Amino acid sequence: MEKITKFRPKAEIRESYGEDGMGPRRTYIVYFCPCCGRRISKYGGETACDMCGTFYDWGKSEPVIIQKEEISWGD
C-alpha cells in the first residue's frame, strides 16, 4: 500500500469586530490549501483539497496563536 503524503494547511490570523464593526475584537485562524491556496475549513472535516487533491495533516492538537505573525501547531 502506497503511503499518502500529507501537508499542513497554510494559516492566517484574522480579526473581526462583528458585523457592524462595533463589537468586541475577536482573533481567529483561517486555513488555506498549501498547494493551490483554496480556503478550507478544519471544522468541515476536510481531509483533501477538492481542487488539487492535496491531503491535509491537521495534527493531533489545535493550533495556538502565539504572536500576531506566528501560528504554532503544537506537535
pLDDT in tens, the chain (75 residues): 788 899 999 988 888 887 787 888 888 889 999 999 999 988 878 899 999 999 999 888 877 766 556 667 776
Burial, 74: exposed, middle or buried (Cβ in 10 Å; 0-12, 13-18, 19+)? Answer: exposed
- On whether the pTM is more than 0.85, the answer is no
